[in-house]
Amino acid sequence: MPACCGGGGSEQAPGMRAVMLTWFLSLGLAAPPTVRIVHSGLACNIEEERYSERVYTIREGETLELTCLVTGHPRPQIRWTKTAGSASDRFQDSSVFNETLRISNIQRHQGGRYYCKAENGLGSPAIKSIRVDVYYLDDPIVTVHQSIGEAKEQFYYERTVFLRCVANSNPPVRYSWRRGQEVLLQGSDKGVEIYEPFFTQGETKILKLKNLRPQDYANYSCIASVRNVCSIPDKMVSFRLSNKTASPSIKLLVDDPIVVNPGEAITLVCVTTGGEPTPSLTWVRSAGVLPEKTVLNGGTLTIPAITSEDAGTYSCIANNNVGNPAKKSTNIIVRALKKGRFWITPDPYHKDDNIQIGREVKISCQVEAIPSEAFSWFKNGRPLRSSERMVITQTDPDVSPGTTNLDIIDLKFTDFGTYTCVASLKGGGISDISIDVNISSSTDPPAVEPTFLEIRQGQGRSITMSCRVLRAYPTRVLTYEWRLGSKLLRTGQFDVQDSTEYTVSSLSRDSYGIYNCNIINEAGAGRCSFLVTGKAYAPEFYYDTYNPLWQNRPRVYSYSLQWTQMNPDAVDRILAYRLGIRQAGQQRWWEQEITVNGNIQKGELITYNLTELIKPEAYEVRLTPITRFGEGDSTIRVIKYSAPVNPHLREFHCGFEDGNICLFTQDDTDNFDWTKQSTATRDTKYTPNTGPNADRTGSKEGFYMYIETSRPRLEGEKARLVSPVFSVAPKNPYGATNTAYCFSFYYHMYGQHIGSLNVYLRLKGQTAIENPLWSSSGNKGQHWNQARVNINPPTSFQLIFEGIRGPGIEGDIAIDDVSIVEGECMKSDQPANNLRSGAVGTLAHIRLIPVIILMSVLCHQR
């Protein structure tokens, strides 16, 4: 089906959408969008809030699944967004444009308010939101502190100690304390106080031991609880307080700073000198994470083959949750020279400045160096020393670090030449950086724009070409000339303007070609070139055609080729297209002309059907526009055969001829599978007296699906074949009657041991419920029979064919030519004895994801 008929979540051109809305409104079918949010997945709790919002509570690590149910005609477009607090962000996930938003392994930062927005161009967009609350509980941490006035290296008697318990959680955590097995409560022990400081808002519980007693040296446990919400269990941490408990102290066995060359290995050693319990040692870097190549072994850090990026401050931190962590740092300096640059005063590249004899010239040279560098100056390769006319200075490091200056006083002709500044580091090991600066009485040829521009225009029309000067020195002698090929058109001289123009009032065949505008001074010339042509622009192939295989037969296929014309009126009206096609890998092109009637509009989608293409070959297609002035630019694409993603919109036919069996799949819950087979390819040891001798059309080569009931199959075992998902359009809010559909198929049940063939309808969201549509059992003879059933599903659905093995091996059952056609089945062909009363009732249009049925009438095909 052409892409202009696409629906669902696909995007459409604004012009096409406006036409569609006008058409729907004229039929009284249009309806503004409505939306509501439903959930599935692992929610702890769902509760209503004011303003019709809902709170969705979920445990961290579970799967969040929200579905946005929309109505409206045309089908609204859907977008999910998230707002956290006052900051709004669009999360990067392909699901934001789908009906269902699914977040696996949800984390606490993903909580917040989620919005579903639906719009179809009618009225205001419909928006609903739901707040997602993520519950979690981290492991608690106990830290020990002494009162500030009494802090010593160890916790002696007559000292006050604080045990602080902290755990991150949502909802807020509740704490309890134990000493050994004894539960500590406020007031249960005069030497113990339990309180929550005001500033912690209840998130921290502190156990205060006043004037330590012998019985206070014990094991303490802090239990953090969120009262089992979302089945989150309590968590506990223990700490043993003794008279040896002490905060950590450490020592670094390295210098500060450490200066190394790139490529060297550096080792930092950190040792503990005190602390009970034994502190843990970690290394951190002030400017981000440790280098990936870092090797850690306890308190020893090794960086092999160090680089400039590894430089910085490294800190060793000791922590045992007693008092404050101990921290010692050292600075690693990696010697380097990089990013040399220079500038000249006055600036010879500025249009108002130039280097003149008798003036002062200053050359500045700057290099990024670690640590500070030493500079040397050379002229034409010979060393320079500071003198009265050649003054060498260093700029204040606070103003411009790493900068040296060479001032040339009263510039003379003999001062012209190449000056070099060289930066080097003491100690060697690092290559020097040298910067060459040439001082001369040079000129600058003109720089112009555009250097090249293509102009397409039809005969009889006018064009104007403009060439602009960007810079040139000297500017006082600046001339221009316009040429077509070698023919001189016009010359002139610049006064105050910075551009020149040339106009062709009426293009003809002789005025097409390359126009050059040369802008000249004594240093040289700059050139603007213009290619003026009457060729039409190339067409642009459209690659988003929905189901381009509009005709799909056993050996050949047809392809809907679609394209738009770039700038259709830029040159002249497109009269026709020359279509070339060849099989991939071949040399010869087969060509034909496609006549165009009328004018092509900008953005108009043009369709041409390529027929009788051989499966599964790919083809190159070349398309060339033709005007009265000749052929335009061509464009080429490759088309490939692939089975349709979804069946046809208005009707679905499946003869099981393709390798993907029309997207039918085997049910994982059955006992065995259906088999694709043709009489010509079946096993020579097949069971006689059962199964078909040809497909439904009588062809020995045609395929069908069947169940093989030979051993090891047992009586009562099931094989289930599941169709692709079909979708139905939403119910018309204005009560218009929807269309029923006729579901039909052919079945073959021949053999003395035939079991049963059942057909079920499975609705979206009701995977555990299958509605019986049709059933038949027993021997029906050696011929194909047709079954037809009216189906009226109210939502997306699948069809399931269930074959049940009978009492013996002569029980093969086959099906072929499954179809769904718009309109009710003819009553004379509808076997009433097989139609189950359990079929779903409300009428609806069938559509195939994501295409809206009524949009098919809007397709435009040239």
Three-class DSSP labels, 25-67: HHHCCCEEEEEEEEEEECCCEEEECHHHCEEEEEECCCCEEEE
Query: Angle at CA 149, nearest 5°, toward 143 and 154?
Result: 55
pLDDT at 84: 45
The confidence band for 153, taking pLDDT boundaries of 50, 70 and 90, is: very low
pLDDT digits (tens, 9 = 90+) for 472-501: 765 556 789 999 999 999 999 887 678 899
**Residues 6 or more apart in contact with residue 257 via CB below 8 angstroms:** 330, 331, 332, 333
The single-letter code of the amino acid at 395 is: T
Strand, helix or coil for residue 230: helix
Give the Cα separation of 723 and 704 in Å (integer).
15
* Nearest Cα residue to 345 out of 329, 330, 362: 362
Higher pLDDT, 731 or 405: 405
Lowest mean pLDDT among 407-421, 703-717, 762-776: 407-421
Sign of torsion, CA 660 665 671 675?
Answer: negative
pLDDT at 808: 92
Instruction: Give the β-pairing of 54-59 and 126-137.
Output: parallel
Determine contact, residues 257/314, Cβ cutoff 8 Å. no
List residues bridging with 366 in a β-sheet: 341, 403
List residues bridging with 343 in a β-sheet: 364
- Residue 830 pLDDT more than 60? no
pLDDT digits (tens, 9 = 90+) for 101-118: 888 999 999 988 888 899
The confidence band for 707, taking pLDDT boundaries of 50, 70 and 90, is: very high
* Nearest Cα residue to 601 out of 19, 63, 5, 75: 19
Higher pLDDT, 780 or 3: 780
Instruction: Give the β-pairing of 258-260 and 326-334.
Output: parallel
* Average pLDDT for 845-855: 29
Lowest mean pLDDT among 70-84, 644-658, 694-708, 846-860: 846-860
* Nearest Cα residue to 696 out of 660, 653, 727, 732: 653
Residue 123 token pair: 């009225």
The confidence band for 644, taking pLDDT boundaries of 50, 70 and 90, is: low
pLDDT digits (tens, 9 = 90+) for 662-689: 889 999 899 999 999 988 877 766 788 8
* Average pLDDT for 336-340: 74
Sign of torsion, CA 483 486 489 494?
Answer: positive
Phi, psi of 354 (to 5 degrees): -155, 160
Give the Cα separation of 150 and 138 in Å (integer).
32
pLDDT at 428: 62
**Residues 6 or more apart in contact with residue 69 via CB below 8 angstroms:** 35, 36, 37, 38, 99
CA dihedral 329, 335, 337, 339 (to 10 degrees): -20
Determine contact, residues 563/609, Cβ cutoff 8 Å. no
* Nearest Cα residue to 789 out of 759, 766, 814, 763: 759
* Average pLDDT for 721-730: 75
Percent of the chain at pLDDT exceeding 90: 32
Determine contact, residues 448/467, Cβ cutoff 8 Å. yes
Neighbours of 104 (CB within 10 A): 10
The tokens 């006992």 sit on which residue?
671
Cα distances from 184 to residues 215, 216, 233, 770, in angstroms, run 13, 12, 21, 59
* Nearest Cα residue to 570 out of 670, 673, 463: 463
Query: Angle at CA 672, nearest 5°, toward 671 and 673?
Result: 140
The confidence band for 27, taking pLDDT boundaries of 50, 70 and 90, is: low
- Residue 804 pLDDT more than 90? yes
Determine contact, residues 421/436, Cβ cutoff 8 Å. no
Question: What integer best gives the mean pLDDT of the chain?
Answer: 80
- Out of 56-60, 367-371, 375-379, 801-805, the most confident range is 801-805
Residue 414 token pair: 């003999």
Instruction: Give the β-pairing of 161-166 and 204-209.
Output: antiparallel
- Out of 145-154, 199-208, 258-267, the most confident range is 258-267
Give the Cα separation of 824 and 837 in Å (integer).
16
Length of the chain: 862
The tokens 């700057």 sit on which residue?
366
pLDDT digits (tens, 9 = 90+) for 368-380: 777 766 788 898 8
**Could you check whether the bond before residue 74 is cis, i.e. omega within 30 degrees of 0?**
yes
